[in-house]
Amino acid sequence: MPGTSRVISGDSHIDLNPDFWTHRIPAKWQEYAPRVVTLEDGNEAVQIKDGRPWPVGFLMHAGAAKEENHRQLGSFANAVGAGSPEQRLREQDVDGVDAEIMFSAVGNMNVFRQIKDDEGYCAVIRAYNAYLAEEYAAAAPKRLIPLGIIPTCGIDAAVAELEACARSGLKGVQIDKYPNGSGRPLSEDDRFWAASLDLRTPISYHCGQGVTRMTGPTEQTFSYKEGSVGEGFPDPMKTWYFRFAGEGICAPVQMAFAGVWDRFPNLQLYWGETMIGWLPYALVQVDSNYDRYRYMSEEMYGVGPLKRRPSEYIRDNNLWGFLSDPFGIRLRNDIGVDKILWGSDFPHAAGDWPHSMETVDEDFAGVPQEERDLMLGGNAARFFHLDA
C-alpha cells in the first residue's frame, strides 16, 4: 500500500452503551438517563423514559459477512465500536486508521430529543458531551475525535452548548437542525455561526442517506414573502431549485438564499456521508435552475436574488464526506480535492472494517500521493484543526 502521512476517517460513529456516561447526568435529571432495553426479537435498544426505543440493530456489526449481517443480534456486548476507548484504539490499529472523526447516532434526534422538558434535555446532552471530552477522547486526544451534540430547542441553548464544547476541548460539533431548532436557516442563527468562527469550532452535519435537507415534511425550505404561497403549493421553490440536482445540496442552497455565506464568507460546514460522485452534475444543474427560475423566485415569492451563483457558494463554503466512491474520486478536481474527506463509516455496515485500506487502495489507484493524502487525512486535519 502506498504510504500516507496520516489516515483520518472523516466519518466514523460512536454508539456507546449509555452505562459508560449516564453517571454524569445531574441527580435532578437522572430519570431521563438513557437505558438499554431488550426488545421482543432479542435485539437491544436505547430508550429514554416514556420514549420509543432506538434499536441498536445491525449497523454496528462491521466486519460481519454481508450475507450474515442482517442476522446478527444488536447487542452492545458483542458489537465492535461500542466499547472502551482502549478497545476503539485497537480497532483503529486493525483497520490501519490513525484517527477518527466520530458522529453520535444515538444522540439528539434519535433518542435525546424525546425528552419533553427542554432543561432536562439540555442537561442530558451536556452530560454526554462532557463525557466525550473529559473521559472518552481524553484517553487518546490525537486519535479519538468525537463531535459534540448541539441541542435543537432554540438558539440560546445551541450557543451555550457550542461554547461548552469549545471549553471542554472537543474538536467540533454536529448539528441535527439549524441552530434556531428548525429546518430552515434564520437570522437568529448568526449568533451561532459567529461564535463557531470566534471559537474555531468546526460544524458538521451527518447526512446518512446523502441528503442535507433538515426540513421536516411540513416545513418550508425557503422564507417566502407573505401571501405569496397559495393553498396546495406549500413549498414552490423546493421543486424548481432542486430539479434534477437532488437534495444533497439542499442545506447549502438554503444558506445561500438566507445570506449566511455572504455574511460569513469564512464559514465552512462539513456534510458527512454524502458521497461525492453526484456533486459535479448537481452543481451544473443547480446553476441552470437558478438561471431559469430566479426571476419567478424573486418576483413571485421574494426568494433571492443571490450575489453569486449557487455553485460558487457550494464550492467555497462546504466540504463533503465519502466512503467507497471510486467514480467520485475520478471527479475530484471537478469538486475540489481540498473539499472532500474519506471516511470508514466504522462501526456501521456500510464500511469495510477491518479491511478499509484494501478498499482504499483499490478506489485510489492512480491518484497522486499528494491528493491521496489530502482526501485520506489532510483535509480532515485542516478542517478540524487537529494540528493546532
**Given pLDDT bands bounded at 50, 70 and 90, which one contains residue 277?**
very high
For residues 93 and 85, the answer to whether their CB atoms sit within 8 Å is: no
Q: For the chain, what percentages of helix, strand and coil (3-state, to nearest 5) are there?
A: 45, 10, 45
| Closest to 116 in 3D by CA, of 33, 184, 49 | 49
Omega of the bond leading into 202 within 30 degrees of 0 (cis) = no
Element (H, E) at 361: helix 356-363
Is 90 exceeded by the pLDDT of residue 165? yes
- What is the pLDDT averaged over residues 96-114? 89
pLDDT tens digits, one per residue of 45-64: 999 988 999 887 656 677 77
Is 60 exceeded by the pLDDT of residue 318? yes
215 or 72: whose pLDDT is higher?
A: 215
Phi/psi at 254 (nearest 5 deg)?
-55, -45
The DSSP secondary structure of 35-63, one letter per residue, reads EEEE-TTS-EEEE-TTSPPEE-TTTT-TT
> So what's the pLDDT on residue 60?
67
- What is the pLDDT averaged over residues 260-287? 98
**Given pLDDT bands bounded at 50, 70 and 90, which one contains residue 75?**
confident
Is 50 exceeded by the pLDDT of residue 1? no
Give the cell for residue 195.
461564535
For residues 192 and 181, the answer to whether their CB atoms sit within 8 Å is: no
Determine the residue type at 352.
Answer: D
- What is the pLDDT averaged over residues 379-388? 94
Widest CA span in the chain: 61
The CA-atom distances, in angstroms, between 26 and each of 21, 76, 115 are 12, 24, 15
Angle at CA 270, nearest 5°, toward 17 and 268? 135
pLDDT tens digits, one per residue of 322-331: 999 999 999 9
> So what's the pLDDT on residue 65?
73
The CA-atom distances, in angstroms, between 17 and each of 105, 129, 189 are 12, 14, 33
Cα(337)–Cα(328) distance, integer angstroms = 11
- What is the pLDDT averaged over residues 99-126? 91
Cα(82)–Cα(250) distance, integer angstroms = 32
Domain range annotation of the chain: 8-33+81-383
299 or 1: whose pLDDT is higher?
A: 299
For residue 99, give the 3-state DSSP assignment: strand
> So what's the pLDDT on residue 73?
67
pLDDT tens digits, one per residue of 149-163: 999 999 999 999 999
Cα(326)–Cα(218) distance, integer angstroms = 36
Is 50 exceeded by the pLDDT of residue 37? yes
Min mean pLDDT across 21-25, 114-118, 120-124, 228-232 is at 228-232
Cα(92)–Cα(87) distance, integer angstroms = 9
Cα(112)–Cα(110) distance, integer angstroms = 7
Percent of the chain with pLDDT over 90: 82
DSSP structure class, residue 148: E
> So what's the pLDDT on residue 211?
92
The pLDDT mean for the chain works out to 93
> So what's the pLDDT on residue 349?
84
**Given pLDDT bands bounded at 50, 70 and 90, which one contains residue 217?**
confident
Angle at CA 336, nearest 5°, toward 335 and 339? 105
pLDDT tens digits, one per residue of 350-362: 899 999 999 999 9
Determine the residue type at 3.
Answer: G
Domain 8-33+81-383 has CATH 3.20.20.140: yes
> So what's the pLDDT on residue 208?
74
57 or 21: whose pLDDT is higher?
A: 21
Is 50 exceeded by the pLDDT of residue 316? yes
Cα(138)–Cα(131) distance, integer angstroms = 9
- What is the pLDDT averaged over residues 99-124? 90
- What is the pLDDT averaged over residues 185-213? 95
Beta-ladder partners of 173: 148, 203
